[in-house]
């Protein structure tokens, strides 16, 4: 079973690129983030023609998440129990579904913006809610995986130059502790260092020629419980999807499972 996560940075704007990638990469399940459209504006018909069932949680703003599946979609949950609000709104940042043998979450963790911004404590509270919501499946015996854009670099080696990020979001001790608390529920990063890449980045800013210069960050993660992690046979970042005109600023993270 091949599963993937991709911050698509506007589903409708990059639909043709997504459809071409689905054909070549042939994932069974895809978690999308930052779809930037309302649930009823998701191009469901085109995706179904490509062989995928669709479950989405979008509010038409800059957030939104979705799950595409060739393995079926059941027991869909939108949002997180106890999810905090921001500016009086519950943002569309999480969706979970059972796809064949796998319980999967697509999550888009808040950016945090700046350590002095209200978005920063919101980000920490959101990660805490994610830990609580994922805990039962994380500790369970059925395969489960939380995938998405976590907007946190787990270690200093997960970004191109730590010195370029003094006192900023994505690398603070509080964010890393919040991510570690999610993993402490029974989840762990499935990306195996010994496989195709040692320290693969998943995000490169559009500015300053960051992608050609490989000034990136690893912030898109797949966190699996033991029942899922033990079935991982391969994992890679598809850097080719960050190339060319009209690319997202993220590349897909692909994980192969022997389920």
- In this prediction, residues 175-197 reach a mean pLDDT of 85
pLDDT for 195:
55
CA distances from 88 to 42, 84, 91, 128, 129 (A): 25, 9, 9, 19, 17
Q: What percent of the chain has pLDDT over 90?
A: 89
Give residue 189's pLDDT band: very low, low, confident or very high (50, 70, 90).
very high
pLDDT band (50, 70, 90) for residue 164: confident
pTM beyond 0.85, yes or no? yes
* Tokens 């989405």 belong to residue: 56
Residue 161 pLDDT > 60: yes
Q: How far is CA 232 from CA 105, 194, 223, 253, 257, in A?
A: 17, 13, 11, 13, 5
pLDDT of residue 194: 46
Neighbour-count burial of 258, counting CB atoms closer than 10 A to its CB (0-12 exposed, 13-18 middle, 19+ buried): exposed
pLDDT at residue 193 greater than cutoff 70: no
Tokens (6 digits) for 61: 């703003």
User: pLDDT at residue 108 above 60?
Assistant: yes
Structural domains of the chain in order of their starting residue, each with its CATH number: 2-251 (3.60.10.10)
* Helices 119-138 & 173-183 angle (0-180, nearest 10): 20
Output the CA angle 219-182-232, nearest 5 degrees. 70
Report pLDDT for 200.
86
Instruction: Lowest mean pLDDT of 43-57, 182-196, 231-245, name the range.
Output: 182-196
pLDDT > 70? residue 198: no
In whole angstroms, give the CA distance from residue 77 to residue 96.
5
Which residues lie closer than 8 Å to 113 by C-beta, 6 or more apart? 119, 120, 169
pLDDT for position 255 = 96
Given a contact cutoff of 8 angstroms between Cβ atoms, the answer to whether 62 and 10 are in contact is no
214-242: average pLDDT: 95
Would you place residue 163 in the very low, low, confident or very high pLDDT band (cuts 50, 70, 90)? Answer: confident
What the block records as the tokens of 203 is 């995000």
Neighbours of 233 (CB within 10 A): 12
* Burial grade of 17 (CB within 10 A; 0-12, 13-18, 19 or more): middle
Instruction: Report the chain's mean pLDDT, rounded to a whole number.
Output: 94
Question: What local confidence, expressed as pLDDT, does residue 165 receive?
Answer: 76
Q: Look at 61-65, 71-75, 129-133, 150-154 and tell me which has the smallest mean pLDDT.
A: 61-65
Dist CA 157 CA 161 (whole Å): 8
Tens-digit pLDDT profile for residues 150-160: 999 999 989 98
Question: What is the rounded CA–CA span in Å between residue 75 and residue 61?
Answer: 25
């Amino acid at each position: 079973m091949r599963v993937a996560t991709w911050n698509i940075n506007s589903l409708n704007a990059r639909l043709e690129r997504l459809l071409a990638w689905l054909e070549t990469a042939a994932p069974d399940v895809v978690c999308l983030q930052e779809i930037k459209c309302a649930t009823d504006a998701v191009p469901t018909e085109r995706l179904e023609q490509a062989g995928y069932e669709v479950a989405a949680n979008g509010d038409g703003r800059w957030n939104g998440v979705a799950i595409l599946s060739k393995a079926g979609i059941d027991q869909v949950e939108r949002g997180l129990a106890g999810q905090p609000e921001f500016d009086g709104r519950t943002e569309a940042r999480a969706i979970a579904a059972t796809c064949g043998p796998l319980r999967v979450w697509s999550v888009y963790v808040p950016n945090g913006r700046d350590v002095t911004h209200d978005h920063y404590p919101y980000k920490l509270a959101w990660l805490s809610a994610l830990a609580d919501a994922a805990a039962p499946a994380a500790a369970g015996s059925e395969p489960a995986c939380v995938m998405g854009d976590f907007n946190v670099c787990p270690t200093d080696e997960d970004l191109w130059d730590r010195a370029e990020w003094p006192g900023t979001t994505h690398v603070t001790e509080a964010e890393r502790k919040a991510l570690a608390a999610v993993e402490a529920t029974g989840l762990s990063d499935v990306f195996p260092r010994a496989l195709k890449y040692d320290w693969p980045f998943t995000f490169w800013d559009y500015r300053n020629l960051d992608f050609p210069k490989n000034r990136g960050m690893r912030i898109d993660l797949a966190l699996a419980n033991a029942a899922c992690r033990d079935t991982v046979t391969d994992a890679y970042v598809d850097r080719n999807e960050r190339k060319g005109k009209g690319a997202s600023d993220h590349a897909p993270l692909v994980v192969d499972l022997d389920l």
